[in-house]
Amino acid sequence: MRLACGTWATINGLRRLVVNLIFLLVLAVVLAALLARSPDPVVDGSALLLRPVGQLVEQVAVADPLALLRRGAHPSQTPLHEVVEALDAAARDGRIRGVVIETDALATAGLAKLQELADAITRFREAAPGKPVLAWGSRFTQAQYFLASQADEVYMAPDGFVLAHGFASYPTYFKGLFDKLDIRINVFRVGVHKSAVEPFTRESMSAPHREATARLLDGLWGQWLGGAAARRQISADEFGDLIAHYPQRLAAAGGDAAQLALKSGLVDGLLTPDQWQELQVARFGRLDDGKAARRTVLGAYLSGTRAQRPPAGERIAVVAVQGAIVDGESPVGVAAGETVAGMLARVRDDDAYKAVVLRIDSPGGSVFASERIRREVDLIRQAGKPVVASMSSVAASGGYWVALAADEIWAGTSTLTGSIGIFGMFPDLSGLLARGGLSVDGVGTSPIAGGLDPRRPLSEPMSSALKSSIEHGYRRFVGLVASAREMDAAAVEQVAQGQVWSGAQALEHGLVDHLGGLDAALASAAARAGLDAYRVEWVEPELDARERILERLLHALGLEGPDRSQAAGLAGLVTRIVGELGSLVQWNDPGHMYAHCECVPP
């Protein structure tokens, strides 16, 4: 036994040594690269290169360093606020002569985020007349084209296509699978339109959910068409008609999707990658090496401009509530109640922070965790610091719950919000166990002892208790909305019942105060705090120093490339189904109560 233990300790020690050596080697390489860089990484007379990679997010989730190495150090997420920050700075920067957008590496982005990015490009254009904005893609997905369409000139590869097809919602329904496995999902919900439980209890979309979803998607699709067509020489109606009759139009063009896009006015020209490079050289010149076009990448530009800022004084904190809201602690990626509450508590206790913007991009989740976050927001206000909630692509159900403690709420026109409702779910695996020849038996000290054991059918007393808790939770949610929004409870009921609204609709119903992006929310927070000059600081969870150092250094180097994390084809289908079913694992509310919206932002 001593020999075995000693051998294992040796192996474990060697493993840790190898991991640390790899980390130190990577750190040395990155530091050497940083030290070798010019003190001023901004190329004078260059174009700012915007090449968003992977998913457009509010805050980047820090991956394990070895995972970063396995992916070739290519991040799979791009923070929206950094792209906007760079655009706003470049408009005033005499060294920047224009903006170049390349969209191939962008995987996904919610419409609300794309609209905020479009607004930033518009501000750049208005503040810097004469500085062109050029865009190119080998082909365009729907999100990629919306971004590219904001440029003055849009180019595409001669064998490319514009794949704009509209918005759709087609959830996977698991009831048939659960029936075959003898798994029963006990559901308790309040709200006719609270559809988050439907994939686990039905085989198809319910009529109320179908009607509400169709209404919502039609409105959002109208916004997409209007935004994408705004700078092109076509109307939104013409664009919509092209997409609606795309198969016929493509056949008439002999199957040449690129020529169809060109003749329809979706792009200004067809350029191969080398021709695209030559166009940039003609507009911005070459680098000193005489080869590549004069461009400055996003990471290098931000590093250079931030280094020139004066020392931090009074600050506005931005705290992100991103992803599903779960109980406990977790790094960036999900909105863990204790983690977010801890960040808010740090802001409350730090006198350097004069105001807070709560940036929400979450469909909700645990009621317990949502209330934990909402209470911390309330404590910040009680401490005399103004709090402004800023909704990104989605701030629904629990995401709306946490916003209720803010002094005011801002939403994008296409933000998905509302979904005021509560549900509870508890699995009964007794049938599945029986199929495997397993049985459960025993005794308890009360009728509800062992009542939340998924190996046993849910007892009537426990079912009654859960039902009462869910109904109480819903009344409390409605009461919070009524109090925070100064509405009559009956009026809240008219817009509650789990209904999902766009930001524009939410403003009409009194659920939010203003329409606007993060920049507008920051300006409002500064006005409430009486600040003329301030620094915006994104507050992050306290993470492992090794992860933080490596992530920061890689980002500062601007190491960007194709996002290899996106599965395609059959692999993508399997990943999606597993992901939808895996959401059950994230739901860890101690009271089994959830304010979650089954709404994926388009």
Question: Is residue 99 within 8 Å of 150, Cβ to Cβ?
Answer: no
- The CA distances from residue 563 to 40, 72, 568, in Å, are 28, 10, 12
Q: Token pair of 321, please?
A: 């509530």
6 vs 458, more confident: 458
User: Vertex 123, ends 122 and 126: CA angle to 5°?
Assistant: 85
- Please give the angle made by the CA atoms of 42, 89 and 343, to the nearest 5 degrees: 105
7-24 average pLDDT score: 63
pLDDT of residue 193: 78
Domain assignment present for residue 381? The answer is yes
Distance in angstroms (rounded) separating the CA atoms of residues 214 and 167: 10
Q: Among candidates 318, 382, 378, 390, which has minimal Cα distance to 347?
A: 318
Domain of residue 426: give its range. 315-438+452-533+584-596
Please tell me the predicted confidence (pLDDT) of residue 343: 95
DSSP 189-253: EE-TT--TTHHHH-SS--HHHHHHHHHHHHHHHHHHHHHHHTTTTS-HHHHHHHHHTHHHHHHHT
- CA 170 to chain CA mean position, Å: 20
Strand 46-50 to strand 77-79: parallel, antiparallel, or no bridges (unpaired)?
Answer: unpaired
Q: How far is 163 from 36, CA to CA, in rounded Å?
A: 42
Full DSSP string of 314-325 = SEEEEEEEES-E
What angle in degrees, to the nearest 10, is found between the helix axes of 545-556 and 2-36? 30
Which of 307, 337, 369 terminates a domain? The answer is 307
pLDDT at 69 over 60: no
Question: What tens digit of pLDDT does each residue of 443-455 get?
Answer: 999 888 888 899 9
Q: Report the pLDDT value the prediction gives residue 74, as an integer from 0 to 100.
A: 46
Among 58-72, 384-398, 412-426, name the one with the lowest average pLDDT.
58-72
Same-domain check for residues 395 and 280: no
Residue 188 lies in a domain: no
Find the Cα–Cα–Cα–Cα dihedral 35, 38, 42, 45, rounded to 10°. -160
Judged against a pLDDT cut of 50, whether residue 559 lies above it is answered with no
Angle (deg, nearest 10), helices 298-307 and 545-556: 100
The whole-number average pLDDT for the span 68-75 is 47
pLDDT at 96 over 60: yes
The reported pLDDT for the residue numbered 60 is: 84
Number of domains composing the chain: 2
Whole-number pLDDT of residue 423: 86
282 lies in the same domain as 366: no
Domain membership of residue 563 (yes or no) is: no
- State both tokens at 84: 């906007």
Cα gap 299→303, rounded to integer Å = 6
For residues 245 and 120, state if they share a domain: yes
Token pair in block for residue 239: 């664009």
- Please indicate, yes or no, whether residues 526 and 428 belong to a single structural domain of this protein: yes
What is the distance between the alpha carbons of residues 45 and 511, in angstroms, rounded to a whole number?
46
Give the rounded percent of residues in the chain with a pLDDT score beyond 90.
65
**What's the pLDDT tens digit per position in 26-43?**
656 555 554 544 445 788
Q: How confident is the model at residue 364 (pLDDT cuts 50, 70, 90)?
A: very high
**Do 299 and 331 have their domain in common?**
no
Residues 599, 284: Cα–Cα separation, whole Å: 43
pLDDT digits (tens, 9 = 90+) for 116-167: 999 999 999 999 999 999 999 999 999 999 999 999 999 999 999 999 999 9
Q: How far apart are CA 94 and CA 571, in angstroms?
A: 47
Is the model's pLDDT at 581 over the cut of 60?
no
Q: Which residue numbers are catalytic?
A: 194, 397
With beta carbons less than 8 A apart as the criterion, state whether 498 and 420 touch.
yes
Predicted confidence band at 12 (pLDDT cuts at 50, 70, 90)?
A: low
Per-position DSSP letters for 375-398, written without gaps between them: HHHHHHHHTT--EEEEEEEEEETH
- 240: Cα separation from own chain's centroid: 27
**462: in domain:** yes
- Within 46-110, strands assigned E span 46-50, 54-57, 77-79, 96-102, 106-108
**Same-domain pairing of 303 and 322:** no
pLDDT of residue 578: 54
What does the pLDDT average to over 200-225? 93
| pTM, to two decimals | 0.85
* Mean residue pLDDT across the chain: 86
Q: Is the pLDDT of residue 569 over 70?
A: no
Does residue 119 belong to any structural domain of this protein?
Answer: yes
The answer to whether residues 287 and 347 belong to one domain is no
The CA-based angle 422-406-375, given to 5 degrees, is 60
Do 144 and 269 have their domain in common?
A: yes
Distance between CA atoms of 413 and 433, rounded to whole angstroms?
Answer: 48
Domain identity same for 232 and 147: yes
Rounded to whole angstroms, how far apart are CA atoms 12 and 5?
Answer: 10
Q: Comparing 21-35, 490-504, 568-582, 584-598, which segment has the lowest mean pLDDT?
A: 568-582
- Other beta carbons within 10 angstroms of residue 543's beta carbon come to 12
| Pair (298, 331) in one structural domain | no
- Distance CA(227)–CA(225), nearest Å, equals 6
Cα gap 8→321, rounded to integer Å: 42
Q: What is the mean pLDDT of residues 475-499?
A: 95
According to DSSP, the residues that pair with 539 across neighbouring strands are 319
CA distance 535 to 26: 32
Task: Please provide residue 321's backbone torsions phi and psi, each rounded to the nearest 5 degrees.
Answer: -115, 90
| 516 located within any domain | yes
Sign of CA dihedral 234, 237, 238, 239: positive
Is pLDDT at 9 greater than 60 in this prediction? yes
Q: Which residue has the higher pLDDT, 522 or 589?
A: 522
CA distance 124 to 405: 34
- Final residue in a domain of this structure, among 262, 289, 307: 307
Q: Is residue 210 part of a domain?
A: no
Q: Tell me which amino acid residue 56 is.
A: L
The confidence score (pLDDT) of residue 204 equals: 95
Q: How many other CB atoms sit within 10 Å of the CB of residue 160?
A: 20
Average pLDDT, integer, range 375-395: 97
pLDDT at 71 over 50: no
For residue 174, being part of any structural domain is answered with no
What's residue 478's pLDDT?
95
CATH number at 387 reads: 3.90.226.10
Where a domain ends, among 253, 273, 307?
A: 307
Check residues 15 and 264 and name the one with the higher pLDDT: 264
CA-based nearest residue to 335, from 57, 5, 48: 57
Same domain, 154 and 263: yes
Same domain for 277 and 343 = no
C-alpha to C-alpha distance for 401 and 391, rounded to whole angstroms: 12
Please tell me the predicted confidence (pLDDT) of residue 11: 66
